[in-house]
Structure 1
Amino acid sequence: MKLFTKLALVSSMAVSVNAMAMQAMDDASLSATTGQDGITIAIDTTAGIEIDKLYIHDNDGFTNSALTFGDTTINTAGTADPTIGAGAITVNGLTISKGTGNTQNLATLKVDAADVGGQAVLNVLAETGALDINVGSIGVASSGTYSSDDNVRGVVEGSEKQIITGLTLSLGATKANVQLGNAPQGAMIVVDSEITGGLTTSLTINDTSTSGGGSIGIEGLKVTSSGSKNLNADAKIGVTKDGLYISPAQSPLNAYIQKVSLGEANKSIGSIEVQGLNLGSTSIKISGH
């Protein structure tokens, strides 16, 4: 009987401990236990992210039936009053993958909700490791007709003209802070980061006009902050009623292009170097029209 009593006592103690461990914890209790609040979302990939085709449709094309610059009128060859329809910017073969030697997550998001001086703020800190971005081509085409059967619009077959090919972009680790609801940091998005190794890109710009056929090749363009091997990528980004605005940091830049070719890839004019490029109080606004 005594043995049964002891077993019952031990069992009741174990159940009590487990019951306490399974009690629901509020955010404050969780913070006291783990030492932190908020949500962390880690995004990682081994194969990278791929987008086969990306189309940005301009649904009304030109706002005028014909545009005139000096003695030149933009219209279909041999047509006095052409029909203006929808066109699309095309992006083919977009891939985003980890840069060489990057052992970090593709992206990490740290989400917190707070009250800052009576203002409710949703704060999202976004961090990325080194990334390699490759684009097969960027071009323009005539927009197709939307089909609800397969939920695609696409472009008219045979209408696409490739403008930029072989675009590669290498980015070092970056960090951006997003505030929604209110933005006590002074902008919806604040980029406060140093891109390790600077920004590196290569591309080819093609002339597909009737008299064209040649290209401008830019091989190995690298941008860094003056006096540094890295790039200071500070900027403020926000959205107004007029559109998206970007205010980059006021810091001088150095740029070096290893090879610039005109006409064909083997017709190089040499290398181009820019030292101490200062954008001053330049701001960028992107809007529709």
Structure 2
Amino acid sequence: MSYDDKPGRPAVAVIGLGQMGARLAQAFLAAGYRTTVWNRTVAKADALVAQGAVRAASAAEAVGAAPLAVVCLTGYHAVRDVLATSTLQGRTVVNLASGAPDEARDLAAWVSGHGAAYLDGAAMSGTRLVGRREALFIFSGSADAFAEHQGVLASLGNAVHLGADPALASLYDGALFGLAWGTLAGFYHAVALVAAEGVVATGFVSVATSHMPFVTSLMTEHARQIQDGRYPDDDGTVDVHAAAMAHLLHASAAAGIRTDVPELFTNLLERASAAGHGADGVASTITTLSKGAAA
């Protein structure tokens, strides 16, 4: 079946029906798109077929059923293996597998060599929010392909195109994953610290989340400082933050909880101070992390 055979609703194919792939297909169906699905384990398509999806007998058939093929597999190598027998000419391939930026560029070249447009992508909000506006999906690669299919991709959530370089989505994916884990690590340590004094996590979280708008405002301001290479001390100097971190280390040790997280932060601050930034704003810590910084 070709996607030209059934005029009417716009068509999309989803290849790979793991936890994320299934949610993608459900979001397309909910938005009214004619959705063809394929998975190596055939039974994984059953629930989606019951919701109105069309089951393809092969990945090649799925690709042939729609102008847009969204692939959600375990890695870039798997995407290439699964698409190897497909006719990609004239299609747009959106890859949501995770990997490294150089893998994204290699796959983009391979897809382009087969006559298809390529978008690399990443789902940055897990599976729970897929189909809702607050779910962030980032894409990079062909600007023309993104413009053509933006409406379909927007049914997944907030679809953001980062630029023409296909590696950008993978780069941002890793960077944002690290950002999320840095935040969560701090949160887990904080919960352990207050729990040592009998404060329950659900009691602490309401205060913690009310503090986060201030934290995100720091990110915005410090991004400007980093861009300008100037680090005013409005938000405290490196040495002031190091002293505060010493208090956190002491409190954590006294409470009998592990100090791995504040030790990491202390190490960063000590390195910045040793590099001559003790009296600079705390954003100067970036200089110890940037490419070319001394070990």
TM-score calculated relative to the size of structure 1: 0.24
The TM-score normalised by the length of structure 2 is 0.23
Flag the structure with higher strand content. 1
Quick check: which one's helix share is greater?
Answer: 2
Larger Rg: 1
